[in-house]
Structure 1
Amino acid sequence: MGGLRALLAREDWIYLLGLLVPLAVYNIGLKAARVLGLPGPVGPVEFLDQVRSEVFFNLGYAALWIGLFALVRRGAGRWVLLVLFHLAAILVAAIATSAHFFYETTGSVLDYDLIVQSLHSWGDIQGVIANETTTLHWLLMSVVIFYAIAGPALLTGLFGSRLHVPVETPGRARFAPIAVSLLAISLGALSLLPGVTGSSKSFSRDPLANMVVTEFTEPDFEETSPEIETQLAAEDLPTDASLVQNAGTQKRNVVFIHLESTRAQATTPYNEEMETTPFMDKLADESLMAENAYTTVPHTSKAITAVNCGITPNLVRPITEAEPDGIPARCLPELLTDQGYDSVFFQSATEDFENRRQIAKNFGYEEFYPLEALPKEGFEQANYFGYEDDIMLPPSKQWLEEQKKTGRPFVAEYLTVTVHHDYKVPGRYGFKDFAEEEEYNRYLNTIYYQDRFLENLIDQYKEMGLYEDTIFVLYGDHGEGFGEHGRRQHDNTIYEEGIRIPLLIHDPQRFENGMRVIPPTNQLDVMPTVLDLLGYGVTGGTYPGSSLVRPLPMDRAVYASCFYDRTCMASIKNNEKYVYHFGNQEDEYFDLSEDPAEKQNVADDHAEEIDRRRESLLEWRSKVNTIYERHRDSLMGETTMMSE
Structure 2
Amino acid sequence: MTAENRGRAFSGDLLDRRDWVYVLALLVPFTVYTLVLKAARVGSLPGDPGLLGTFGLMRSDILFDLGYALFWIGLFAVARRGLPRLLVVWLFHATTITVALIETGAARFYEITGSSLDATTILFFLSSPKEVGTVVASAVTPSLVATLAIALLYAIFGPWLLSRFAARRWGRQTVEPGTPRASWLGFAGAALVAYALVSLSLLPGGKVPGASETSTRDGFLNVALSAVESSPLPYVDAEKVRESLPTQTRLEPAERTRKRNVVLIFLESTRASSVTPYNEDIQTTPFLDELAGQSLFAERAYAAMPHTTNAQTATICGIDPPTREGTASLGDRIPARCLPDLLNEQGYRTAYFQSATENFERRPEVVKNMGYEEFYSLEDLDKKGFQRANYFGYEDDILLEPSRKWLQQNGDEPFFVTYNTITPHHQYLAPDKRYGRKQFAKDDTVNRYQNTVRYLDFFVKNLIRQYKEMGLYENTVFVILGDHGEAFGEHGRYQHDNVIWEEGLRIPMMVLDPSRPAGRIKAPVGELDVLPTVADALGYRVEGGEYPGRSMLDPLPEDRTLKFSCWYENKCLASVKGDKKYIYHFGDRPEEFYDLSKDPLEKNNIIDEVAPEEIKARREELLEWRARADTAYGSP
Pair in the same fold by TM > 0.5: yes
* Residue 302 (1) aligns with residue 326 (2): no
Aligned partners of 1:96, 1:144: CA distance in 2, in Å? Answer: 13
Segment of structure 1 superposing worse, 355-364 or 253-262: 355-364
Query: 2:320 is paired with a residue of what secondary structure?
Result: coil
CA distance in 1, matches of 2:165, 2:375: 64
Corresponding residue for 2:348? Answer: 341
Q: Which runs of 4+ in 1 moved over 6 A?
A: 163-166
The offset of 1:181, in angstroms, is: 1.3
Question: What is the CA-CA distance between 1:165 and the residue it aligns to?
Answer: 12
User: Which residue of structure 2 lines up, in the alignment, with residue 475 of structure 1?
Assistant: 481
Opposite residue 627 of structure 2, the aligned amino acid is S
Per the alignment, residue 430 of structure 2 pairs with: 425
Query: Root-mean-square deviation (CA), in Å?
Result: 1.7
What is the match of residue 200 of structure 1? 212
Q: 1:25-74: per-residue Cα shift (whole Å, max 9, x none)?
A: 10011001100110122211110000000000000000010111112222
List aligned pairs for 1:510-521, cutoff 5 A.
510-511=516-517, 514-521=518-525
186-195 or 276-285, which moves further after superposition?
A: 186-195
User: 1:11, 1:160 within 8 Å by CA — same for their partners in 2?
Assistant: yes
Cα distance, 1:117–1:163 mapped onto 2, change above 3 Å? farther
Aligned to 2:194: 184
- Once the two structures are superposed, residues 547-580 of structure 1 have per-residue CA deviations (whole angstroms, 9 ceiling, x without a partner) of 1111111110101100010000110112111110
Q: Closer, same or farther in 2 for the Cα pair 1:336/1:380, shift >3 Å?
A: same
Aligned to 1:409: 414
Could you say which residue in structure 1 is the equivalent of 2:573?
Answer: 569
Question: What amino acid maps onto 2:270 in structure 1?
Answer: T
Q: In 1, Cα distance between the equivalents of 2:537 and 2:139? A: 44
Asked if 1:439 corresponds to 2:445, the answer is yes
Q: Measure, in 2, the Cα distance between the counterparts of 1:439 and 1:279.
A: 24
1:534 aligns with 2:538: yes
Q: Which moved more, 1:494-503 or 1:600-609?
A: 600-609
The answer as to 2:607 corresponding to 1:615 is: no
SS at match of 1:250: coil
**Residue 19 (1) aligns with residue 26 (2):** yes
My pick for the range that moved more, 200-209 or 2-11, is 2-11
Query: How far apart are residue 178 of structure 1 and its match?
Result: 2.2
Conserved? CA contact 1:580–1:614, under 8 Å: yes
1:375 to 364, 382, 386: 382
Match of 1:496 among 499, 502, 506: 502
Report the equivalent of 1:579.
583
- Is the aligned partner of 1:548 residue 2:559? no
Whether the aligned pair in 2 keeps the contact of 1:246 and 1:535 (CA below 8 Å) is yes
Which deviations, in whole Å up to 9, do the C-alpha atoms of 1:132-186 show, x marking residues without a partner?
Answer: 21101101111110111111123224545359999xxx97313432221111111
Please state how far the C-alpha of 1:191 moved relative to its aligned partner: 1.4
State the SS of the aligned residue for 1:224.
Answer: coil
TM superposition shift of 1:247? 0.3
Deviation (angstroms), 1:78: 0.9
CA distance, structure 2, for counterparts of residue 37 and residue 196 of structure 1? 16
Letter in 2 for 1:561: S
User: In structure 2, how many angstroms separate the alpha carbons of the residues matched to 1:542 and 1:347?
Assistant: 29
Query: Quick one: distance in 2 between partners of 1:135 and 1:72?
Result: 39
Residues 200-225 of structure 1: CA distance to partner in whole angstroms, max 9, x if unpaired? 11000001221233232x34324534
Cα distance between partner residues in 1 of 2:65 and 2:37: 13
Q: Does the 8 Å CA contact 2:331/2:363 hold for their aligned counterparts?
A: no
1:94 aligns with 2:101: yes
Other-structure match for 2:55 = 48
User: Could you tell me which of 354, 359, 374 is aligned with 2:366?
Assistant: 359
1:355-402 Cα offsets, whole Å, 9 max, x none, are: 111111111110111111111111111111111000000010111111
After the TM superposition, which residues 163-182 of structure 1 pair with which residues of structure 2 at under 5 Å, given as runs? Answer: 172-174=181-183, 175-182=185-192
Q: Shift of residue 230 of structure 1?
A: 7.9
Question: What amino acid does structure 1 have at the position aligned with 2:458?
Answer: R
Shift of 1:315: 1.1
Question: Is 1:224 paired with 2:231?
Answer: no
- Partner residue, 1:486: 492
Match of 1:266 in 2: 274
1:379-390 matches, within 5 Å, as 379-390=386-397
Give the TM-score taking structure 2 as reference length. Answer: 0.95
C-alpha distance in structure 2 between counterparts of 1:608 and 1:157, whole Å: 67
Contact residue 49 and residue 195 of structure 1 kept, 8 A: yes
- C-alpha contact (below 8 Å) 1:36/1:42 kept by paired residues: no
1:61 partner letter: Y
Q: Which residue does 2:405 correspond to in 1? A: 398
Letter of the aligned partner of 2:337 in structure 1?
R
The CA deviation string for residues 494-534 of structure 1, in whole angstroms up to 9 with x for no partner, is 111111111111001112xx211112211000000111110
Q: CA deviation at 1:323?
A: 2.2
For the pair 1:448 / 2:454, whether they are aligned, the reply is yes
Task: State the distance in 1 between where 2:172 and 2:435 align.
Answer: 63
Kept in 2, the 8 Å contact 1:15–1:164? The answer is: no
Q: 1:557 pairs with 554, 561, 566, which one? A: 561
The residue type paired with residue 458 of structure 1 is I
Aligned length: 619
Instruction: In structure 2, give the amino acid aligned to 1:257.
Output: I
- For 1:315, the equivalent position in structure 2 comes to 323
Q: Which amino acid aligns with 1:47?
A: T
Instruction: Tell me, yes or no, if the aligned pair for 1:559 and 1:570 is still in contact at 8 Å.
Output: yes
Task: Name the structure 1 match of 2:139.
Answer: 132
Q: Identity over the aligned pairs, expressed in percent? A: 49
- Contact 1:93 1:144 (8 Å CA) reproduced: no
Q: Deviations over 1:246-298 (max 9, x none)?
A: 00000000000010000000000011111000000000001011111111111
Say whether the 8 Å CA contact 1:578–1:587 is kept in structure 2. yes
Contact 2:120 2:325 in 1 (8 A): no
Question: Does the aligned pair in 1 maintain the 2:231–2:570 contact within 8 Å?
Answer: no
- Give me the whole-angstrom Cα distance separating, in 2, the residues matched to 1:161 and 1:519: 79
Listed as ranges, the gaps of 5+ residues in structure 2 are 1-6, 174-178
Whole-Å separation in 1 of the counterparts to 2:386 and 2:262:
27
* Mean Cα deviation higher: 36-45 or 522-531: 36-45
Residues in 2 aligned to 1:215 and 1:449: alpha-carbon distance in whole angstroms: 41
Deviation at 1:344, TM superposition (A): 0.8
After TM superposition, the score normalised by the length of structure 1 is 0.94
Q: Summarize the Cα distance change of 1:307–1:154 in structure 2 as closer, same or farther, 3 Å threshold.
A: same
User: Which of 371-380 and 451-460 deviates more?
Assistant: 371-380
- Alpha-carbon contact 2:76-2:85 (below 8 Å) kept: yes
Give the Cα separation in 2 of the matches to 1:382 and 1:594.
37
Deviation at 1:545, TM superposition (A): 0.3
Which of 102, 111, 119 does residue 104 from structure 1 map onto?
A: 111
| Residue in structure 2 matched with residue 113 of structure 1 by the alignment | 120
Q: 2 CA distance for matches of 1:125 and 1:186?
A: 38
Distance 1:94 1:528 in 2: 48
Residue 348 of structure 1 contacts residue 389 of structure 1 at CA under 8 Å; is this kept in 2? yes
Shift of 1:232: 2.4
Residue 350, structure 1, aligned to residue 357, structure 2? yes
Provide the rounded CA distance (Å) in 2 between the counterparts of 1:284 and 1:28: 51
Counterpart contact for 2:358–2:377, Cα < 8 Å: yes
Q: Residue 251 of structure 1 aligns to which amino acid in structure 2?
A: K
- Contact 2:387–2:431 (Cα < 8 Å) also in 1: yes
